[in-house]
Amino acid sequence: MLEAYIPILLFVLVAIGFAIFTLLLSGLLHPERYSKVKLEPYECGIEPETGARDRYSIRFYLVAMLFVIFDVETVFMFPWAVMMDELALFGLIEMIVFLFILVVGYVYAWRKGALDWV
Q: Is 115 exposed, middle or buried (0-12, 13-18, 19+ CB in 10 A)?
A: middle
Could you give all domains of the chain from N- to C-terminal order, each with its CATH number? 2-111 (1.20.58)
* H/E segment holding residue 64: helix 58-75
Tell me what pLDDT residue 12 has.
97
pLDDT in tens, 15-56: 999 999 999 999 899 877 877 767 766 666 677 677 767 787
Query: What is the Cα–Cα distance from 30 to 41, expressed in whole angstroms?
Result: 20
pTM, two decimals, is: 0.49
Q: Looking at residues 96-100, what average pLDDT do you find?
A: 91
With a CB cutoff of 8 Å and minimum separation 6, the contacts of 43 are 37
